Structure 1
Amino acid sequence: MDTIAFLVAPEGVEQIELTEPWKAVKQAGGTPRLISTSPGRIQAFNHLDKGDTFAVDATLPEVSVEDFDGLVLPGGVANPDFLRTVPAAVSFVRGFFDAGKPVAAICHAPWTLIEADAVRGRTVTSWPSLKTDLRNAGATWQDREVIICTSGPNTLVTSRKPDDLKAFDQAAVDAFS
């Protein structure tokens, strides 16, 4: 595992869904990089309350899929809801599938996967409120702690919520290794 992109919106990422996978990647010897749509710092949240801010390493126009070995999409409701409206973000996500590189998405993050047309024919999990959206996009949705789907062009790791982070982090690190 080398360099892993963490794609987040300028505001609204669930802090623990950013920081715990970030630590797992670092502990496994990888280099996480925070990618966003705007330079500067992003604002994380602890559910609905503002959390810490984090420095952006690069913006979407400054990077390409070829720069990374995998992608993490943290959740939070606002984060993927914003990213799915940004064509460059959707294209960046889609690029990992086209390149056959592993992707890990937790909680509400599969909303961005739907917009990138990356769940059709895949088995996934998510925060329960996304179940119908994912099924309508052609996925098989299951209520499980973590799902590792290898039935497509790449390994796709999905998980439901912060309580599942230990399993999510291990599955993501394994996929990136």
Structure 2
Amino acid sequence: MASSPNKFLLILAIATILLPSIAVATEYVVGGDAIGWKPNFNYTDWAKDKMFMVGDTLVFKYDPTKHDVYKVNGTAFSECVTPPGAEVLKSGNDIVTLKSAGNKWYLCSTLGHCANGQKLKITVMDMMSAPQPSPNAAPPNVFVGFFQIFVSLAIVILLSSYAT
């Protein structure tokens, strides 16, 4: 059976190899820190260059005396209405964890706000549906791969020196 230092080094080697490949969830402040959730802002432009993944979070920051956030369906989003039973958030610092892939729609129910742009539509992807890089895309970061190999080899050498 491996000694305690050997177990630690083995776990460290495995973590060094596997951890960079595990996706880390991203937190998005809707509209950005400076803007937040308010009317007269183009949330479509804000969202267009972002890739929302299952596990990511949206943070809606706003004045709760003036705004709210409703989770709605596509029809309600298009018509700027809040259907009965729709989930409403109203703390002023609402965190929404994206738990499933697909389209998600959010809007403010304050009169005129949705019509003035205070609404957000995003598409959430899971790891299986994420787009593959185009043939002209930059190559993956080779440094990370070499670093993983280097650290793994160093740990193997350390383990072999402990074994002798």
Q: Which has the higher strand share?
A: 1
Question: TM-score, normalized by length of structure 1?
Answer: 0.24
Question: TM-score, normalized by length of structure 2?
Answer: 0.26
Q: Which has the higher helix share?
A: 1
Which of 1 and 2 has greater Rg?
2
Larger relative contact order (Cα-Cα within 8 Å, sequence gap ≥ 6): 2
